[in-house]
Amino acid sequence: MAFSRVSAWSPPVLCVLGVALLIGGGCSGMWGGKRKTERSSSVVNYLYPGEANPLPPTEVPVLRLPLRVGIAFVPSGNTRAYYQDAAITEVQKTALMERVAVEFKGRDYIQSIEVVPTSYLRPAGGFTNLDQVRGLLGVDVIALVAYDQVQFTNENILSLAYWTIVGAYIFHGNKNDTDTLMEAAVYDIASRHLLFRAPGASHVEAGAAAAYMEQRKRADGAKGFELATDDMIKNLKTQLEAFRERVKTAPAGTVARIERKPGYTGGGSFGGGFIVAGLLLWGVRWWRRRS
Amino acid sequence: MVAVGVFLVPAWAPTLLYDRAGIVRGEWWRLWSGHLVHFGPAHLAWNLAVLLPAGLWAERIAASRTRLLLALAPPAMAIVLLIGLPDLARYGGLSGLASALLAFLACTQLGRAKGDSWFWWSVLGLLLGKIGAEISSVHPLFARFATDDVRPVPLAHAAGLGVAVLMALPRSHA
């Protein structure tokens, strides 16, 4: 009975139904399913391209204070996007590097911090490229910032509303997870020595309607970089202090040799030790005179 | 008092600081005024803790020579720094003068032979020990100044000690 009723549908009706299914399926394929977008750059790939076992530098770095520091994003040579997306833009990179630079300006042992545009670095440029940057910009030490950002997109129950077309603009049927890991590796260019490194990480979760998903992903990506930069700045400060402490406590010249550029500032001062020793002497003199 | 005033008005510091380039240009007042500039409250406080008692005591026992020392020691030390440390661009601090006053006091007291010469020899030894420790220090970067970029200059203390001994010796021998 039912079959006879279906078979009774006219060919135009069946065509309309078929087209609707095709469109719906296409939309579902376009909006639905799990997706992963990954963007990354690597300090190792940049500095040691094609080297399986890079040899560690043998000479002790000589840091001539005050230092001229460069900060640069390592060029990305490894962008894999299942759903091609705009990577972090040059403007975003510059803004993030400026934020890092501001945090470290005003320290007396840092003469200047130069934000190095990515265009100065070429993929897999290695230390030869860094020597060029050193010559061009006159930096002694460079902080190379690498990143790895992975974005996962999943659908939830609300994505069923996408079948209505209008629902794709209204209901947040997609959930984006953005994991960002950044790392700043600070190198003395002349000695090719890694002085210290500091990581920064962030996790961002957000929902989005299908029609605005790419917009949402870009916003999440930018927020991920912002939060990871905050974390990295915090860790950079800690690592910088730890490095200074290592230079201070390690036997002379084992971690780094500190030298002064011509034109340093000098001062003379008496410390607490001198005053205490003087007071002790005075006390002994007073006691002896009394007795 | 003047050093405290200079410290409280930081705008004066660039004009008064020992600035090698400025002195070479003919800003001769820096030979004296450079010693009045300090790089932090602790820097000023420690120097005054030595300079004030030593200066007051020295003035009480040898007023005219102490004033002469106060007038001559600052430029003498600055000239030694100009010649001996060509890389030293800027210098500040009363410690050189405090060293000079302390050494002058010790030498003067030793010349008077009042019975506690061991104490004044110990003071001189302490001063020499401090200068020696500064010269042999391997980590000048992490000194006790408020800013890391200021490096101790033991030559200033040595020069102060030298000037003081030169001024105290003729009287001691007399």
Q: Which of B149, B150, B163 to mutate to test the interface with A (most CBs of A within 10 A)?
A: B149
Q: Taking CB atoms and an 8 Å limit, are B92 and A267 in contact across chains? A: yes
Question: What is the rounded CA–CA span in Å between residue A172 and residue A163?
Answer: 13
Q: Taking CB atoms and an 8 Å limit, are B142 and A278 in contact across chains? A: no
* Predicted local confidence at residue A186, as pLDDT: 93
For residue A65, give the nearest of A102, A3, A107 by alpha carbon.
A107
More confident call, B119 vs A7: B119
A104–chain B nearest CA distance, Å: 14
What CATH number does domain A34-243 carry, 3.40.50, 3.40.91, 3.30.200, 3.30.420? 3.40.50
Tokens representing residue A105 in the block: 């300006």
Residues of B in contact with A265 (CB under 8 A): 39, 88-92, 149-151
Question: What is the rounded CA–CA span in Å between residue B81 and residue B63?
Answer: 27
User: How many CB pairs below 8 Å do chains A and B form together?
Assistant: 120
Task: Give yes or no for B30 touching A (CB within 8 A).
Answer: no
Question: What is the rounded CA–CA span in Å between residue B32 and residue B45?
Answer: 19
* Predicted local confidence at residue B47, as pLDDT: 83
Q: Could you say which DSSP state residue A166 is in?
A: T
Question: What is the rounded CA–CA span in Å between residue A205 and residue B110?
Answer: 79
Residue B161 clears pLDDT 80, i.e. is over it: yes
Residues of chain A with pLDDT under 50: 1-3, 6, 21-22, 24-29, 79-85
* Predicted local confidence at residue A179, as pLDDT: 93
Task: Give yes or no for B103 touching A (CB within 8 A).
Answer: no
A135–chain B nearest CA distance, Å: 24
Question: Is the pTM of the predicted complex or chain greater than 0.90?
Answer: no
Question: What is the rounded CA–CA span in Å between residue A198 and residue A182?
Answer: 8
Task: Give yes or no for A105 touching B (CB within 8 A).
Answer: no
Domain ranges of chain A: 34-243
Question: What is the rounded CA–CA span in Å between residue A164 and residue A260?
Answer: 71
Residue B35 clears pLDDT 80, i.e. is over it: yes
Give me the DSSP letters along A222-291: HHHHHHHHHHHHHHHHHHHHHHHHHHHHSPTTSS-EEEE-SSEEEE----HHHHHHHHHHHHHHHHHHH-
Tokens representing residue B134 in the block: 């500064």
Task: Give yes or no for A115 touching B (CB within 8 A).
Answer: no
Give me the DSSP letters along B26-64: T-TTHHHHGGG--SSHHHHHHHHHHHHHHHHHHHHH-HH
More confident call, A93 vs B134: A93
Quote ipTM for the complex.
Answer: 0.75
* Predicted local confidence at residue A87, as pLDDT: 62
Cβ B17 vs Cβ B90: under 8 Å: yes
Q: Taking CB atoms and an 8 Å limit, are A267 and B49 in contact across chains? A: no
Considering only CB atoms, A269 lies closest to which of B47, B87, B140, namely B47
Q: Taking CB atoms and an 8 Å limit, are B151 and A266 in contact across chains? A: yes
Task: For residue B51, give the chain A residue with the closest CA.
Answer: A270
pLDDT in tens, B83-98: 888 878 888 888 888 8
In the stretch 73-102 of chain B, residues with CB closer than 8 A to chain A read 81, 85-96, 98-99
Residues of B in contact with A272 (CB under 8 A): 46
Question: What is the rounded CA–CA span in Å between residue A284 and residue A42?
Answer: 65
Domain ranges of chain B: 41-86+94-168
Tokens representing residue A229 in the block: 């930069």
Task: For residue A248, give the chain B residue with the closest CA.
Answer: B139
What percent of chain B clears pLDDT 90, i.e. is strictly above it? 0
